Amino acid sequence: MKKIGFIGLGIMGKPMSKNLLKAGYPLLVYDIVPAAVEEVAGAGAEKGTSAKDVAAKTDVIITMLPNSPHVQEVVLGKDGIIQTARPGAIVIDMSSISPLVSREIGAKLAEKGIRMLDAPVSGGEPKAIDGTLSIMVGGSKADFDEFLPLMKTMGASVVLCGEIGAGNVTKLANQIVVAANIAAVSEALVLAAKAGVNPDLVYQAIRGGLAGSTVMDAKAPMMLDRNFKPGFRINLHIKDLNNVLDTARGIDVATPLTDELMAMMQSLKEEFGDADHSALVRYYERIAGIELHR
């Protein structure tokens, strides 16, 4: 099998790269944090020294970085992929970034004959570990078909949503729905607790009905157990909501729910920015003057 480059070995990149190793792909990995590189090297990957180094030695380069500026630097920067990648190579950017930036990067790569897919994911760390992420892809059908088997080693569902940028537009839609769901679960459980009803029993009673959701099953137990270990950090969700607001402004679309969710998350940033986004419940708890417990 062809050697794959993998850049960005954080909460998501580590398990995703390990799944590629398990599937038998030889890997060359890089992260600015040496300990992250050591950990994945311990699972069998070769160590790269920069993004440029990875691109010089592989023709399929996956990136899993925090946000648009990181991907711009890693792909287009002076030590970036574009400096050494060969025509025909492909960058599969699995980070959640602005769709407008995906399109800009795709266009710059195309000038050098380098291909790109934007392929952000949903499902969080547990599904990254299981290899069952949902992957939403933008790019050409031919590139999608060629790299579908590779993406399938990390995801259970892999859907081509349109041209470059369509993956990240789809991810923004996903992030609105997730944030709104977490807020609704928080609002409901805090109301129930303040009204004197055990919030765990409320959760058990409603989870199988129309109100139930994947978000409720993932996040209500965390709220009740006071377990806010990320998972998905509030700071990263703020980043995604910023990308929603930027994109919406650019195309003149109103996002009243996202505006409200952003204000809630911003109010928690200082104290809980590195906590899981289920810590959104703290916003409601502060106002109600209570804490959820089982």
Q: Which residues are catalytic?
A: 171
Separation CA 160–CA 17 (nearest Å):
22
Strands (E), 79-222: 90-93, 115-118, 121-122, 133-138, 155-162
Alpha-carbon distances, residue 185 vs 11, 163, 249 (angstroms) = 25, 34, 28
- 70 binds ligand NAD per the rule CB under 6 A: yes
Q: Which stretch binds ligand NAD (CB under 6 A): 11-19, 193-201, 208-216, 251-259?
A: 11-19
Q: Give yes or no for a cis peptide into 231 (omega within 30° of 0).
A: yes
Q: CB of residue 132 vs ligand NAD: minimum separation in angstroms?
A: 13
Choose between 155 and 199: whose C-beta lies nearer to ligand NAD.
155
Q: Copy the structure tokens of residue 38.
A: 């050591």
Residue whose CB is nearest to ligand NAD in the complex, by number? 10
Q: Which stretch binds ligand NAD (CB under 6 A): 41-49, 60-68, 195-203, 219-227?
A: 60-68
Separation CA 182–CA 293 (nearest Å):
17
- 124 binds ligand NAD per the rule CB under 6 A: yes
Q: Is the dihedral of CA 155, 235, 180, 166 positive or negative?
A: negative
Which residue from 24, 73, 67, 70 is spatially nearest to 45, judged by alpha carbons?
24
Among 58, 68, 98, 122, which residue sits at the site for ligand NAD (rule: CB under 6 A)?
A: 122
Q: How many CA atoms lie within 13 A of 83 on its CB side?
A: 13
Among 144, 203, 232, 284, which residue sits at the site for ligand NAD (rule: CB under 6 A)?
A: 232
- 95 binds ligand NAD per the rule CB under 6 A: yes
Looking only at residues 233 through 252 of this chain, which bind ligand NAD when binding is defined by CB under 6 A? 236
Question: In one letter, which amino acid is 109?
Answer: L
Among 4, 5, 6, 12, which residue sits at the site for ligand NAD (rule: CB under 6 A)?
A: 12
Q: Which stretch binds ligand NAD (CB under 6 A): 111-119, 122-130, 161-169, 200-208?
A: 122-130
Q: CB of residue 8 vs ligand NAD: minimum separation in angstroms?
A: 4
Separation CA 25–CA 154 (nearest Å):
12
Q: CB of residue 151 vs ligand NAD: minimum separation in angstroms?
A: 14
- 6 binds ligand NAD per the rule CB under 6 A: no
| Consecutive H or E run containing 29 | strand 27-30
Choose between 127 and 282: whose C-beta lies nearer to ligand NAD.
127
Footprint of ligand NAD on this chain (CB under 6 A)? 7-13, 30-33, 36, 64-66, 70, 73-74, 95-96, 121-122, 124-125, 231-232, 236
